[in-house]
A and B are shown apart, each in its own frame.
Chain A
Amino acid sequence: MHQVPRFRRGFRFQWEPAQESYVLLYPEGMVKLNGSAGAILNEVDGQRSVGDIIASLEQQFPEAGSLGKDVGDFLQDAQHHHWIELS
């Protein structure tokens, strides 16, 4: 909860109009992110903690209810893929 996620060096997150989605770019690779993955990674700024990010997303999507587990699981997964680091 207090850990701060940041993108690993060499990973770039950006909006691509042609694909109408957020993508994650890395050496010779690209993942097209679905809506929720994009929304979560869009909050990753190397400053705010997992807890902050969850709070911010719950505010943006009040109809979604509590997001703690989903967001936490996704960020764990992203760390597993070596997209982000948690410190």
Chain B
Amino acid sequence: MTYPNPSTENTPANPHDAGPPLWLLAELTYRCPLQCPYCSNPLDFAQTERELTTEEWVSVLRQGRKMGAAQLGFSGGEPLVRQDLPELIAEARNLGYYTNLITSGLGLTETKVDAFAEAGLDHIQVSFQASDPELNNAVAGSRKAFDQKLAMARAVKEAGYPMVLNFVIHRHNIHQMNDIMTLCERLEADYVELATCQYYGWAFENREGLMPSKAQLVQAEHEVNEYRKRLQDSGSAMKLIFVTPDYYEERPKACMNGWGNLFLTVAPDGTALPCHSARLLPIDFPNVRDMELQRIWYDSPGFNHYRGDSWMPEPCRSCDEKEKDFGGCRCQAYLLTGNADNADPVCSKSEYHDRILAARRAADHATAGLTGLVYRNADNSRLFFRS
């Protein structure tokens, strides 16, 4: 493949000397047959009307690749809803992307698994809600989800793909850690992501009903470590990745490795975002329908908004750790303090840190079951943009 030299007159300004977006996340659609109450899609997703067309996506993929993107995720919603998925996979692979499909497994068939391999898909990630059908289906809001997921995980392995199994962990399934890891081993997963909820989107609405207590978390961490040791001793290549909730930390995570630094998300309607939840911020983000990706990434006010550190107020401004965590997550700062410029309140130096402490205390005493959660579906979504 040849890379045309971008002519200098068309090269957009790059005031922060940003590097290229090495990861591109293509959120093909917000449509999804499941209703996970921790879904990271926006609360008002049902308001999204015009999805990008096949041609528009192909153009995004080409532009991204030319800028240096190498990892590509197809996600959603449920990306399988898009009928043009095989075409997009083939195009992406042809361009030289490493292509990842992130799916709930619903709508997948053995024929599709094979057709995608033919088109050049590199990897499939299947998400589960729990290690048993009852809990899985209750969380997913679908009666047939679990069996379908099992069948598809087997089909993915059968077709020779590397397989990542993803479990979102919360207070209602965190006691299943051992069962989950055993199930993954039986399904011959190559990687297992045990990702405790991050509280944006629907998960923020449901935080009280989802957040595990400290005691639950400590127990889970212990179980994962023991299991990891066992895998190592038996020479297994299965890799366990346990993402713990930052609500139990005293310093925030370096969100997305820095704003507009490595990750570029394109939402179903073409809105370009520095991370998939940034849509909730009161910032105008450009759309790939109106602007070239190069200009969006290097030169748009949205993407330059939180680059560098001149935007930081105290305590971040004079903090010697700001290069390490960039002040944490802008979305979390916004959701918890009402101002996205503030330090992420996970930080113990933040004047709003007590809000994190309050959430921890609440998690110690929460008693509500699954039925108290707001499920992610079009009816509930409409409530958020009508009000």
- Name A residues whose Cβ lies closer than 8 Å to a Cβ of B: 8-10, 12, 14, 16-19, 23, 25-30, 82
Q: Which residues of A contact B160 (CB under 8 A)?
A: 9
Q: Contact check, A12 vs B98: say whether CB atoms are below 8 A apart.
A: yes
Question: Given A9-B160, A12-B98: A28 and B67 within 8 A (CB)?
Answer: no
Q: Contact check, A27 vs B100: say whether CB atoms are below 8 A apart.
A: yes
Q: Contact check, A14 vs B71: say whether CB atoms are below 8 A apart.
A: no
Shortest C-beta distance, B62 to chain A (Å), equals 14
CA distance A14 to B97 in the complex (A): 10
Q: Mark B15-54, 1 if CB is under 8 A from A, else 0.
A: 0000010100000000000000000000000000000000
Q: Which residues of A contact B3 (CB under 8 A)?
A: 17
Q: Which residues of B contact A26 (CB under 8 A)?
A: 98, 123, 162
- Name B residues whose Cβ lies closer than 8 Å to a Cβ of A: 3, 20, 22, 67-68, 70-71, 73, 96, 98, 100, 122-123, 125, 160-162, 164, 190-191, 237, 239
Q: Which residues of B contact A12 (CB under 8 A)?
A: 98, 122
Contact of A10 among B22, B70, B73, B190 (CB under 8 A): B190
A19 to chain B: closest residue by CB: B68
Query: Could you tell me the dominant secondary structure of chain B's interface residues?
Result: loop
Contact of B123 among A16, A27, A30 (CB under 8 A): A27
Shortest C-beta distance, A84 to chain B (Å), equals 12
Contact of B164 among A18, A25, A28, A82 (CB under 8 A): A28
A10 to chain B: closest residue by CB: B162
Q: Which residues of A contact B20 (CB under 8 A)?
A: 18-19
Q: Contact check, A28 vs B162: say whether CB atoms are below 8 A apart.
A: no
CA distance A28 to B96 in the complex (A): 15
Q: Contact check, B67 vs A18: say whether CB atoms are below 8 A apart.
A: yes
Residue from the set A10, A16, A19, A27 with the largest chain B CB neighbour count within 10 Å? A27
CA distance A12 to B93 in the complex (A): 12
Q: Contact check, B191 vs A14: say whether CB atoms are below 8 A apart.
A: no
CA distance A27 to B238 in the complex (A): 13
Q: Contact check, B68 vs A16: say whether CB atoms are below 8 A apart.
A: yes
CA distance A14 to B96 in the complex (A): 9
Q: Contact check, B100 vs A28: say whether CB atoms are below 8 A apart.
A: yes
Q: Contact check, A30 vs B71: say whether CB atoms are below 8 A apart.
A: yes
Question: Given A14-B96, A25-B70: A30 and B164 within 8 A (CB)?
Answer: no
Q: Contact check, A16 vs B190: say whether CB atoms are below 8 A apart.
A: no
Q: Which residues of B contact A27 (CB under 8 A)?
A: 100, 122-123, 125, 162, 164, 190-191
Residue from the set A9, A16, A25, A82 with the largest chain B CB neighbour count within 10 Å? A25
Shortest C-beta distance, A51 to chain B (Å), equals 25
Q: Contact check, B73 vs A28: say whether CB atoms are below 8 A apart.
A: yes
Shortest C-beta distance, B233 to chain A (Å), equals 15
CA distance A12 to B122 in the complex (A): 9
Shortest C-beta distance, A78 to chain B (Å), equals 13
Q: Contact check, A30 vs B68: say whether CB atoms are below 8 A apart.
A: no
List the 5 shortest-distance A-B pairs measured between CB atoms, nearest first. A18-B68, A10-B162, A25-B98, A27-B123, A82-B237
Subset of 17 A-B contacts with CB under 8 Å: A9-B161, A9-B162, A10-B122, A14-B96, A17-B3, A19-B20, A19-B22, A26-B98, A26-B123, A27-B122, A27-B190, A28-B71, A28-B100, A28-B125, A28-B191, A30-B98, A82-B237
